Structure 1
Amino acid sequence: MKMEIEIEQRRENKLLGREEIYFRVRYDGSTPSRKKVKENLKNALGLKGFIILQYVKPVFGSREAKGYAKIYESEKKARQIESSYITKRNAGGGGKAEEKPKEMKEAKEGKNE
């Protein structure tokens, strides 16, 4: 899949110790996953910090999406500022997807008794 990233705005937020980036992604096929967008953004900018991908919104009727990302020096700094669900979503682990099967198994076991 071919993907191009164009930076629309890049600014430093010294108060919160992060860099904020508004970008546009052009792609072929379906909307790329958050993971692929993060990897390409990191490679395109040569970033070393922890990236919080706030959103990637497809533009209706075209093969592009608009996005907003925040870059922190470390994951620890991001956890101090961002909501827990945002840091979980961007840490790569994905908390909710792993928890659901356990809950469903317990519910099924409870019904069988």
Structure 2
Amino acid sequence: MVTVQDLVKAKLYADDNAVIVDALRHLLRDRPDLRIDLAIYRYQHEAISLARAADLAGVSWLQMRDILRERGLPLQLGPETIEDAQAEVDAVHQELRARS
């Protein structure tokens, strides 16, 4: 079995952290279900916006809304910060542009 240190010793990565970051990036790319579950966890426990959760999950905000509803999870009502509000507006604009 290959270890993190094997990859660093072979100078394929600068350090352990670089190996882990790359491995996680590939894992989340190959397993969209994990991205969605992580986004839902953060939405519930870290109070991120629907738009931010959708971005983390790699889906549109409409899809994220539907996923939350399908799982019986309550939708948060409105953004808490101006940045969250802007992220919501940007997500809506992006979705509308994609549809036209």
How would you bin the TM-score normalised by the shorter chain? under 0.3
Q: Which structure has more RCO (C-alpha within 8 Å, separation ≥ 6)?
A: 1
**Greater fraction of residues in helix:** 2
Q: Which has the higher strand share?
A: 1
Compute the TM-score of the two structures, normalised by the length of structure 2.
Answer: 0.27
Q: TM-score, normalised by structure 1?
A: 0.25
